[in-house]
Amino acid sequence: MGQPNERRTTVLKTFQQEIKMAKPEIRKPIKKKANPLKPGEAASIDYKDTATLRKFISDRGKIRARRVTGVSVQEQRLIAKAVKNAREMALLPYTSSNR
């Protein structure tokens, strides 16, 4: 009766050793994006400046994420408000023009 239990425990131990020996995935460090806005330019984000706002809009018309553009949280909020105001005033389209 002692043999089946011993065999089971040795198989279990070798399986656990194989699991421990597996190498974990190595993640590449995420590079911080350079802020496209100049230090004093963040306060001057305006809904009428469509050329600047277009940098932060995708070709589909969506507002790009912070991690894509590299702006700070406060700047992202200002950009989002300005884009929404510009859309409301018909300075920027809600969606892309080509379908």
pLDDT tens digits, residue range 48-98? Answer: 999 999 999 999 999 999 989 999 999 999 999 999 999 999 999 998 766
| Chain centroid to CA 3 | 55
pLDDT tens digits, residue range 27-56? Answer: 888 777 888 888 777 778 999 999 999 999
**DSSP states of 41-76:** TGGG--TT-HHHHHTTB-TTSPBPPHHHH---HHHH
The residue ranges of every structural domain in the chain are 31-99
The percent of the chain in helix, strand and coil, each rounded to the nearest 5, is 50, 0, 50
pLDDT tens digits, residue range 10-24? Answer: 766 666 666 665 666
| CATH code for the structural domain at 31-99 | 4.10.640.10
